């Protein structure tokens, strides 16, 4: 009886293993059915769509300021300064500084479009395949890896021009530089323009990631036959 019981256990384990192998094989078959052209075209469309929607959301009035997910506050290490300003009757100035930071990000983010478009055009088959079979943010990470330096270089002058119109920004940089030397403020937060540039990029990539996740979850909902074909192959 023990031998019979062990035999049935072995058969059950073998059955589970076969089912798993069949599932993996089916998934591979679905991907293998895609042509190189379909894979690249589908991924390019997905990246372009995600980037355009994200930029459209962020590049309008209150795109940053009115969205808690991406709203840019003063650097965390400078929050005590903000509290002091508000306590001392400088609420208007504190609000003005924060609004200026977010308006600068809203103006800068639209300049990312040609850079992101260039990354899409330069994407090869291996990139596309890796994005397709990667995690929920594989496309976003591709953008981050290939465009961050160029986007930062494009954003920074725009942010500087915007913050220069507010004297408080220059005052902040002067204070923050001294505070950083004394160890009272993080060095990376000592320059307001650099801080806003990086936060604007973080917000952009966050919104692109959300669009990517939505496309992966419901490619049919995009209304695109190509996206349905490419991302639908993952479930076959």
- Residues 27 and 39 grouped into a single domain: no
Distance CA 163, CA 179 (A): 20
pLDDT-derived band of residue 168, with 50, 70 and 90 as boundaries? low
Q: Which range marks the domain in which residue 124 is found?
A: 35-235
Give the residue ranges of DSSP H helices in the chain: 2-32, 36-58, 79-87, 91-109, 113-121, 125-133, 138-164, 167-181, 192-217, 225-232
- Residues 8 and 101 grouped into a single domain: no
Q: Determine the average pLDDT of the residues in 88-108.
A: 87
Burial label for 13, CB within 10 Å (0-12, 13-18, 19+), is exposed
- 128 vs 177: which has the higher pLDDT: 128
Check residue 17 and give its pLDDT: 29
Distance CA 73, CA 29 (A): 48
Assess contact for 81 and 175: CB atoms under 8 A.
Answer: yes
- Residues 11 and 43 grouped into a single domain: no
DSSP for 191-223, please give it.
SHHHHHHHHHHHHHHHHHHHHHHHHHH-SGGGT
- Residues 137 and 202 grouped into a single domain: yes
pLDDT for residue 182 is more than 60: yes
Distance CA 203, CA 107 (A): 13
Check residue 35 and give its pLDDT: 56
pLDDT-derived band of residue 224, with 50, 70 and 90 as boundaries? low
- Residues 104 and 59 grouped into a single domain: yes
- Residues 72 and 179 grouped into a single domain: yes
Q: Could you report the per-residue pLDDT of 100-159, keeping only the tens digit for each?
A: 999 999 999 999 999 999 999 998 888 888 888 888 899 999 999 999 999 999 999 999
């Amino acid at each position: 009886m023990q031998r019979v019981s062990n035999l049935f256990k072995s058969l059950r384990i073998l059955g589970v293993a076969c089912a798993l192998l069949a599932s993996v094989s089916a998934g591979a078959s679905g991907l293998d059915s895609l042509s190189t052209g379909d894979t690249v075209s589908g991924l390019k469309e997905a990246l372009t769509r995600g980037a355009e929607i994200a930029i459209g959301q962020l590049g309008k009035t209150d795109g940053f300021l009115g969205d808690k997910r991406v709203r840019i506050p003063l650097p965390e290490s400078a929050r005590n300064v903000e509290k002091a300003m508000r306590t001392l009757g400088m609420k208007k100035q504190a609000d003005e500084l924060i609004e200026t930071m977010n308006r600068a990000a809203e103006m800068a983010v639209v300049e990312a479009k040609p850079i992101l478009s260039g990354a899409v055009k330069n994407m090869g088959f291996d990139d596309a395949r890796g994005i397709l079979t990667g995690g929920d943010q594989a496309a976003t990470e591709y953008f981050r890896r290939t465009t961050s330096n160029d986007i930062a270089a494009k954003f920074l002058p725009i942010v500087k021009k915007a913050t220069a119109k507010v004297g408080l920004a220059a005052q902040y940089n002067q204070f923050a530089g001294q505070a950083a030397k004394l160890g009272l403020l993080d060095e990376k937060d000592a320059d307001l323009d650099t801080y806003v540039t990086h936060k604007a990029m973080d917000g952009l990539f966050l919104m692109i990631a959300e669009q990517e996740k939505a496309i992966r979850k419901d490619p049919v909902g995009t209304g695109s036959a190509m996206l349905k074909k490419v991302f639908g192959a993952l479930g076959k």
